[in-house]
Amino acid sequence: MRTTRVWGALGAALLTLGLAAGPAAADASPSPSASGGSDGSAPTQAGTSFRTATELQQGQRATASGSTGDYLYWSFPADTGQRPTVRASVKLPRTHGSETWQLDVYDGLRRHQSCQYGASSRTAGQSAESVELACVMRTVRGWAEPWANDPLPGTYYVRLTVVDLGAADLGQPVGAEVQVDSKDIGGASAVDGSLGKPLVPGIAVKSEARGDDSKAAVLSSFGSRDGWSSGWWSDRWVWTAIGAVLAALAGIGGYALTRGHGRPPTV
């Protein structure tokens, strides 16, 4: 009877922990607002420099027309716990020689970010109609050492350009498509620390009108409705607490099973 009561208490505790972990896991998932723009329209042009980069929200598919030899720039926001994946497709002209296209990603401080995997540079042969590029970035961290080149929350820039082609192909029209998606890694990559402010451009080319009809430079308009999520909290604290409670319950259950079934008989 005593063992039955112990196992009943263990089952009730596990059920309670499961119900508590459900909302925590839901809160750790990315919000739907991070995958679309304010007006829901995808950009149809690209910038030509960091300062004129076209803003692109995650989940949007941007298109642009250009010429071989141009530098095409987009920018997108990435927050703590996200692992962005940048994909680009270039539609080549009907007749062209062999040319190599490259996709580069930079953070808010314009530091080049390496790719975990993906073909960020690819050569298209003379018969190729298009070229596909991809870059899976490292997980965005909430904090890093000043000397480190770790990805931090803020604005990221995408640069698409051709790096090797014949002189006869320079200036030919091309079409480009770029899309950024993220996978929420969550507490698996969380660190103990927080970033004071996200890495956004110091001054953007956009301006906002004041009440006196004057204009002032503003920061990048990127950011979630609830603000940037850099901080000490992550879902790993929930699972750490669950692990501690399970360990305590396992100890209680083991003690109940090994302590015996009552006092020994007396003579």
Query: What's the mean pLDDT when you consider all of the chain?
Result: 77
CATH number where 178 lies: 2.60.120.380
Which pLDDT band holds residue 261 (cuts at 50, 70, 90)? low
Residue 139, in any domain of the structure:
yes
| CB-based contact 223:198 (threshold 8 Å) | yes
- Nearest-angstrom CA–CA distance, 195 and 153: 8
Judge whether residue 215 has pLDDT over 70.
no
Residues 204, 42, 213: CA angle, nearest 5 degrees = 40
84, 91, 117, 86: which is closest to 103 by C-alpha? 86
Q: Specify if 247 maps to a domain.
A: no
End-to-end CA distance of the chain: 26
Residue 142 has pLDDT above 70, yes or no: yes
Give the model's confidence band at 2: pLDDT under 50 very low, under 70 low, under 90 confident, else very high.
very low
Residue with tokens 């073909």: 119
Helix (H) or strand (E) holding 253, with range, is: helix 236-258
Q: How far is CA 19 from the centre of its chain?
A: 28
122 assigned to some structural domain = yes
- Is the model's pTM score more than 0.85? no
pLDDT band for 27, please (50, 70, 90 cuts): very low
What is the number of structural domains in the chain?
A: 1
More confident of the two residues 42 and 158: 158
**Sorting pLDDT into bands at 50, 70 and 90, what band is 101?**
very high
For 94-108, 135-149, 175-189, 221-235, which range has the lowest pLDDT when averaged over its residues? Answer: 221-235
- Among 71, 31, 33, smallest CA distance to 54 is for 71
Supply the pLDDT for residue 134. 96
Mean pLDDT lowest for which of 2-11, 73-82, 210-219?
210-219
**What confidence score (pLDDT) does residue 257 get?**
85
Domain that holds residue 171: 25-237
Is there a domain that residue 162 lies in? yes
Residue 8 in domain? no
Does residue 258 lie in a domain region? no
Please check whether residue 163 lies inside any domain of the structure.
Answer: yes
179 or 146, higher pLDDT: 179
Is 242 part of a structural domain of the chain?
A: no
pLDDT at 97 over 80: yes
